[in-house]
Amino acid sequence: MLGRERIEYKRPEQVLLMRRAGLVVADALAAVRAAVRPGVRTAELDEVAAEVIRAAGAVPSFLGYHGYPRTLCTSVGAEVVHGIPGERVLEPGDVLSVDCGAVVEGWHGDAAFSVLVGDAGAHDAADAALVETTRRAMWEGIAALGRGLAAGDRLGVVGDAVEGCAQRAAAAGAPPLAVVEGYVGHGIGTAMHQAPEVLNHRSRSRGPKLRPGLCVAVEPMLSRGSAETDVLEDGWTVVTADGSRAAHWEHTVALGERGVWVLTAADGGAAELAERGVQVAPLG
């Protein structure tokens, strides 16, 4: 398992190549986000992303991965992750998650966002809370990496932060959300999935010590109901066991000498991390 594999710590020049991949992913996801509206087929979103990646001279990383047939994962409603773009037509109020990966000169970037389709009038308030709390859980996890790096802590701070974020939202009166079980973030670099695993829940196993050169994808998945999942007959699409809606956000993050750098965020994570008292330190 990933837990036993060696971690590939990156040198600054390697992180710079990952930043190039990260920005391609950021551009592709921004183009997809702009194309999301009722009536669009998820296959059309896939074409938008594929064109951005191709035009940048990069390579989509999901296409052909263990036989995966598309550039994006598009997961709608009760689909958590790994939904395959196709003929499904987006409807007002759908919860859509879009996941994208790209490779530049052998180095990977991986990111995802969730969004509600159509005008705000068509959105369910609890679905909006699901999407927003999952987004904040991701940023809390990334901020915890920054603080944990400075404090000499371990990777387990991510799961503490993600689970804590979901619990605080419920304690503040929002409908309860479950951290999806069985799927985790991961190390990333010369492959999309590397050691170490990045847990989204609190665990007694604290993981490796945070240190410069560690690059990980932080990707919380939250559900409005069950934390358990099933895989559909297509062999890919992960759905919540009870059919409740789920959201997924992801960024690729590099740890440097002086702090974190969010490689798949256009601003490197500066705005969101400043709100959380964490400085972004490109290649620091």
217 interacts with Co ion by CB under 5 A? yes
Q: Which residue has the tokens 């919540």?
A: 240
Please enumerate, as own/partner, the contacts of 230-238 that have beta carbons within 8 Å and a separation of 24 or more. Answer: 234/84, 236/68, 236/73, 236/82, 236/83, 236/84, 237/75, 237/79, 237/82, 237/83, 237/84, 238/75, 238/79, 238/80, 238/81, 238/82, 238/83, 238/183
| Stretch of 15-23, 205-213, 217-225, 276-284 lying at the interface with Co ion (CB under 5 A) | 217-225
* Residue with nearest beta carbon to Co ion: 217
| Residue choice 19, 82, 108, 135 for contact with ligand MF3 (CB under 6 A) | 82
| Residue choice 27, 46, 99, 272 for contact with ligand MF3 (CB under 6 A) | 99
62 interacts with ligand MF3 by CB under 6 A? yes
22 interacts with ligand MF3 by CB under 6 A? no
Q: CA–CA distance from 65 to each of 105, 114, 163, 192, 274 (Å)?
A: 17, 22, 30, 10, 36
The interface mask with ligand MF3, positions 244-263, x = CB under 6 A, is ------x-------------
Structural contact between residues 1 and 67, judged by C-beta atoms closer than 8 angstroms: no
| Stretch of 105-113, 158-166, 264-272, 276-284 lying at the interface with Co ion (CB under 5 A) | 105-113
Residues forming the site for ligand MF3 (CB under 6 A): 62, 65, 68, 73, 82, 99, 101, 110, 217, 219, 250
